[in-house]
Structure 1
Amino acid sequence: MGNSLALPVITGGDSIESYIHRVNAIPMLSVEEEVELATRLQKESDLEAAGRLVMSHLRVVVSIARGYAGYGLPQADLIQEGNIGLMKAVKRFEPDRGVRLFSFAVHWIKAEIHEYILRNWRLVRIATTKAQRKLFFNLRSMKSSFAALTHAQAKEIADDLGVKPEEVLEMETRMTGQDIALMADHDDDEGGFAPIDWLADHDAEPTRQIERRAADRLQSDGLREALETLDERSRRIVETRWLADEGKGLTLHELAAEYSVSAERIRQIEVKALQKMRSALLPVAA
């Protein structure tokens, strides 16, 4: 289904506002139209019907994706990932269940965005279990204020989500932590201290030297050698998604259009390519 749909994509010269204006101009479907199109897709595999169902709900993806702006990831990518979830929902939608596509698609859209965030936001690496993931995505809405949680509040949230109070407090710290200046303010009195005053120089440690050599190798010879293990398409996907200068990278959908495949297929190739590169680089860090 994904290969034949001409979805609006956010190109390098496009803006989020322009994209949103375009998708908001697409009319929503009536109940009767939605049922008729979904029935055609289900019984006849009608791709035109699938396209109309997807296009009419792109605004839903935008609305949901905006709720995840606080995770520091590109809004364009959040929307593109949500669009993949929408397409999966359309493919699985059963009109005779009496549920609107909007309600059915919300789960699939959020699931795809959640997976993207968990793959790309380094602070969420601790969210490895289902309960921890639920904690990560619900903690903000469950807090009644911006003030730090008390132990009683943390315990109440922990009981609701099936995790330990300590995990709630740790996650809150990770999500609300702010930058602290390392250097002291020179306008302060001479007796002032800053965190840098307590930092030791660990550059001479063997483990730190190994890490530095691995990082240097990764950025030069190691990276080049790892890229050479990939086929031409995989290498281009990795280079344009991860190694391009800021503002010059391509989205999943742009690459999908270039290779005439679905965005989901591009992502699968990307994951496999990164795994292959990681395997090629393992001896470097040894």
Structure 2
Amino acid sequence: MKLFLLLSISFFTLIASEAFITPSELKNLLEEKNLVIIDVADTAIYKASHIKGAINSNVNKFINQDPKNIYSLMNAIDIIQKELRELGINEDSKVVIYSHNTDTGILNSSYLAFILLYSGFENLTILDGGYMAWVFENERLTSSISPDSKDEGNILVKPQEHLLVSLDMLQNSLSSVKILDARSPQMYYGVERSNKVFSIGHISHASSSYYKDKFLKDTTLRTQQELDEIYLYGHEIKKNDEVIVYADNVFTASMEFYILYKHMGFRNTKLYEASLLEWGNALDLPITRFKWE
């Protein structure tokens, strides 16, 4: 039965878009005029060494910095468009995002990818294995010198509201859609507490799907066969299934969302942006502990 399921979903493998790019593939693109490479590391790390031609982005600029924004919700659309244009992104750009292999950096890369997808921009990819994979293959193509400033881009943000779900929408979907928790199994099960979250455990009816399990120790993506087993056999997700992803915050949730939506091709995947910063701090919402669902 398992073999039948895996063979029957070859369609997904065929349509999986270029969500991740290898260092050798990126090297072959370096001369393309419409290429925009974005390094999401802290400024000091970026200045010490980065891929030649890469520009630095502080992804926190895409988060509304109002103290009242306790759920880390994204900034206003006009600000997002301004920041993306300052990165030199045009409507016809090819965007490659990479991190320096830290946990924070990896999630910064997927969060920026989500911002672009939400903005209606699809021609983007993440460097598989991050900066360390690039250095291993192309050590000479690194620099500590920032490139010349790019001309302002012309990207036009077209918000894809269907990619987000609100608390009310999630409440009405608890028993009817697949809900995936992207945190560690310990946090899901309820033996560890998530940062800034009062409740311990997971949203009732959700399944555990730790985003880190989709990568090897060197932070490169698992094989397509392994990912198929996780999502298609393990979670039994079908082509048109609605899937909602959450975590302790939007950053942790963004990588799981990105893999499902961009790499696996599950285009009905949605992100609960406020995640447990909202749900887990509201004492009247259903939380389950010490149970695998």
After TM superposition, the score normalised by the length of structure 2 is 0.26
Q: Which has the higher contact order (CA 8 A, sep 6+)?
A: 2
Structure with the largest fraction of helix:
1
After TM superposition, the score normalised by the length of structure 1 is 0.27
Larger Rg: 1
Structure with the largest fraction of strand:
2
